[in-house]
Structure 1
Amino acid sequence: MKRLSNLSIIFAVIGVLLFVFASFFPNSFEALIASGFGFLFIGLLLSFGAMFKREKGKTKFLSVVAFFLFSFIIAWNEPFQIVRLLTWLKN
């Protein structure tokens, strides 16, 4: 694994952990979900960078899978949380 692949995995794990912590701390739900989504998005961009540089290994795809999987899970289970998050970001 190369540098971008490692960084994408690290950012994806941090993003997933922030999503998990959001369910345990409802007082700071919006901030944790926004931060988790941001970290997952950074991991996604780093993963695309690793794909563009043609780094060896398949771990560069884990960040992409995590981003779309968690986006799908949130949209499927709690669709109004997305509206709540977007309203919080707007204000």
Structure 2
Amino acid sequence: MKTFSIVSVGLCIVGFALLLSNYLSTKFNEPIVMIGFIAMLAGTIFSFVAFAKNELGFLKFIAAGTFFVVTFLVCALDPFQVIRMMVWLKN
């Protein structure tokens, strides 16, 4: 059963799509970015659950790698977005 792997990839795709839609728009939308990061984080957690359950397949590696790659790209391409999110969370 690859249910955790499929759910993790699905959540990572949803999170990536939300972050990409915010990046392509001209206005910064905090709730969309927050939901995107939470979806990607939940996808990574499901990926680690798939690792723990020794599920077959390669999907679990894709979901775990996607979270770290997208987080790195957000920090490298638009570092002020990370600072903006931290300030938004603080308030």
* Counterparts of residues 37-76 of structure 1 (less than 5 Å): 37-76=37-76
Query: What is the letter of the counterpart of residue 66 of structure 1?
Result: T
Q: What residue is the counterpart of 1:36 in the other structure? A: 36
Q: What residue is the counterpart of 2:20 in the other structure? A: 20
Where in structure 2 are there 5+ consecutive unaligned residues? none
Q: Which of the pair is proportionally richer in helix?
A: 1
How far apart in 2 are the matches of 1:71 and 1:56? 26
Identical pairs, percent: 32
1:6-25 CA-partner distances (Å, limit 9, x unpaired): 10011011001001110233
How far apart in 1 are the matches of 2:62 and 2:30? 25
How far apart in 1 are the matches of 2:58 and 2:10? 15
Query: What is the letter of the counterpart of residue 71 of structure 1?
Result: T
- Pairwise CA distance, 1:27: 3.5
Where in structure 1 are there 5+ consecutive unaligned residues? none
How far apart in 1 are the matches of 2:61 and 2:9? 9
Query: Following TM superposition, where does structure 1 have runs of at least 4 consecutive aligned residues deviating by more than 3 angstroms?
Result: 24-28
Query: What is the letter of the counterpart of residue 78 of structure 2?
Result: E
TM-score by length of 2: 0.92
Q: Number of aligned pairs?
A: 91
Computed over aligned residues only, the root mean square deviation of the Cα atoms, in angstroms, reads: 1.3
